[in-house]
């Protein structure tokens, strides 16, 4: 009796399905110490890099595909206008500082002496006018002068009395110095100018666009000479530090996985190479398996998202790359140091 090639292939597929089903049943019913396999992708995290102010782009020292470190300059605006604004505010702050210092210093000795001299002069003039008034009053008793002359002399005395009072008040003001309200107003003006100067200095500093974290330049949107608008993206940066895989755990296997568990990550590109990692996060909310995950199980079952941190010292993993994660279930340690990537992680470390 002969079997056709189609029937042979169908029989082989059925046998493979039965074997996979038996292995799955073994995990659910018995051996829960067998390695656990998860499927996922190297997570893509992007940042749009943009200037906070407008300006003409002077330089773009990096291009698409370049790897940048945290704090590295990736773009620069023409800083001329911001430098001039900072210089102007520095001058205003210096001028207002001198005004405040003068108010706090109070009156100079020469100013006090001048006010007291003016008071003495007013007092002497008043004494002379009082003497003249007394004489004219005596002459009036014998009808030697008119009443009008006496009235004029009296008015002059009253005027000089008011002048003396004003001079004495002036001495008091000069000795006391500026009002506290004037000093407070000068201090507030200086603080406002200093804040404006600091803002100008920050805007000048912001003409240099820095990478917020280590990553790879995915897209270069503008070119040198172009006008950059506030918030308009100049680069798209893909973050690579830390590097993690987004994978999904089925509900029956959820109890086997815990944060900090060691993991091994493999790719189809380098199937013989193992990347060391650890489970860093397990979601507390169930969801349906995304269609982008290459898994052999049914995609309609509920799963829990997990984040597996990966050590990739040679920078071989690419963002979005599909990977296979292998976990070795076991008892959860009561206390263990937080896993991390050393300078050159070794397999099995």
Grade residue 76 by pLDDT with cuts at 50, 70 and 90. very high
The pLDDT of residue 29 is 45
pLDDT band for 334, please (50, 70, 90 cuts). low
Query: Among the three residues 224, 239, 254, which one is the final residue of a domain in this structure?
Result: 239
**pLDDT grade for 142, boundaries at 50, 70 and 90:** confident
**Does 146 lie in the same domain as 174?**
yes
37 contact partners, CB below 8 Å, separation of at least 6 = 324, 325, 326, 327
Q: Is residue 145 scored above 80 in pLDDT? A: yes
The DSSP-derived string for 321-333 is: -EEEEEE---PPP
pLDDT (tens digit per residue) in 171-190: 888 887 788 899 999 999 99
Same domain, 119 and 172: yes
Q: Is residue 100 part of a domain?
A: yes
Same domain membership, residue 90 and residue 232 = no
The tally of CA atoms less than 13 A away on the side-chain side of residue 229 is 2
Q: What does DSSP assign to residue 144?
A: S
282 inside domain: no
Task: Give me the pLDDT at residue 28, please.
Answer: 46
Are 144 and 233 found together in one domain?
A: no
Total domains in the chain come to: 2
Task: Determine, yes or no, domain membership for 187.
Answer: yes
The answer to whether 71 and 211 have CB atoms below 8 angstroms apart is yes
63 φ, ψ (degrees, to nearest 5): -125, 180
How would you list the strands of the sheet with 233-239, edge to edge?
46-50, 233-239, 215-220, 67-68
Residue 12 pLDDT > 60, yes or no?
A: no
Same domain flag for 120 and 168: yes
Q: Same structural domain for residues 190 and 101?
A: yes
Q: Is residue 67 part of a domain?
A: yes
d(CA 49, CA 72): 12
Q: What is the CA radius of gyration of the chain?
A: 44
Pick the last residue of a domain from 186, 201, 216: 201
Residue pair 327/256 in contact by the 8 Å Cβ criterion: yes
User: Domain containing 214: what range?
Assistant: 46-78+206-239
- Which letter, b or e, does each residue of 148-182 get, where b requires 16 or more Cβ atoms within 10 Å of its Cβ? eeeeebbebbeebeebbeebeebbeebeebeeeee
Q: Which of residues 203 and 5 earns the better pLDDT score?
A: 203
Report yes or no on 181 lying in a domain. Answer: yes
Residue 80: partners with Cβ closer than 8 Å, 6 or more residues away: none
Residue 330 lies in a domain: no
Q: Is the same domain home to 59 and 121?
A: no
The encoded tokens of residue 298 equal 């049914």
29 occurs within a structural domain: no
The answer to whether residue 233 sits within a structural domain is yes
pLDDT in tens, 260-311: 899 999 999 888 999 999 999 998 888 876 665 545 554 446 788 999 999 9
Question: Within this chain, do residues 132 and 178 fall inside the same structural domain, yes or no?
Answer: yes
Q: What residues have CB less than 8 Å from 193, skipping those under 6 apart?
A: 89, 92, 93, 96
157 and 226 fall within a common domain: no
| pLDDT for res 316 | 86
54 and 115 share a domain? no
Task: Find the mean pLDDT for residues 145-170.
Answer: 90
d(CA 302, CA 254): 11
Single residue among 181, 201, 221 that ends a domain in this structure: 201
Share of the chain above pLDDT 70, in %: 81
CATH number of the domain bearing residue 59: 2.40.50.100
**What pLDDT sits at residue 341?**
74
Tell me what pLDDT residue 331 has: 53
Structure pTM? Answer: 0.63
Q: Are residues 90 and 184 in the same domain?
A: yes
Would you say 322 and 271 are in contact if contact means Cβ atoms under 8 Å apart? Answer: no
Q: Is the domain of 93 the same as that of 186? A: yes
pLDDT value at position 138? 87
Contact between residue 239 and residue 45 where contact means Cβ atoms under 8 Å apart: yes
């Amino acid at each position: 009796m002969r079997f056709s090639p189609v029937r042979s292939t169908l029989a082989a597929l059925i046998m493979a399905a039965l074997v996979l089903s038996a292995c799955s049943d073994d995990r659910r019913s018995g051996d829960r110490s067998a390695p656990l396999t998860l499927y996922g992708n190297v997570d893509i995290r992007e940042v749009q890099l943009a200037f906070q102010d407008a300006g003409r782009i002077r330089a773009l020292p990096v291009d698409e595909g370049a790897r940048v470190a945290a704090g590295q300059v990736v773009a620069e605006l023409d800083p001329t206008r911001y430098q001039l604004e900072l210089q102007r505010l520095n001058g205003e702050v210096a001028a207002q500082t001198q005004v405040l210092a003068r108010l706090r210093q109070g009156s100079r000795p020469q100013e006090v002496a001048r006010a007291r001299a003016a008071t003495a002069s007013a007092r002497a003039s008043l004494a002379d006018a009082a003497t003249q008034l007394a004489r004219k009053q005596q002459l009036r008793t014998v009808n030697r002068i008119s009443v009008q002359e006496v009235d004029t002399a009296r008015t002059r005395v009253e005027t000089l009395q008011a002048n003396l009072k004003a001079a004495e008040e002036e001495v008091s003001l000069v000795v006391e110095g500026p009002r506290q309200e004037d000093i407070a107003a000068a201090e507030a003006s200086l603080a406002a100018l200093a804040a404006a100067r600091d803002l100008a200095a920050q805007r000048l500093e912001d003409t240099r666009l820095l990478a917020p974290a280590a990553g790879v330049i995915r897209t270069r949107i503008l070119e040198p000479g172009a006008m950059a608008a506030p918030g308009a993206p100049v680069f798209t940066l893909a973050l690579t530090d830390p590097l993690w895989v987004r994978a999904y755990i089925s509900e029956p296997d959820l109890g086997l996985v815990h944060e900090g568990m060691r993991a091994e990550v493999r790719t189809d590109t380098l199937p013989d190479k193992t990347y060391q990692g650890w489970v860093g996060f397990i979601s507390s909310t169930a969801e349906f398996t995304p269609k982008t995950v290459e898994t052999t199980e049914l995609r309609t079952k509920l799963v829990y998202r997990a984040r597996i941190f990966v050590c990739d010292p040679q920078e071989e993993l690419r963002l979005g790359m599909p990977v296979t994660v292998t976990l070795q279930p076991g008892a959860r340690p009561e206390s263990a140091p937080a896993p991390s990537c050393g300078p050159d992680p070794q397999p099995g470390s």
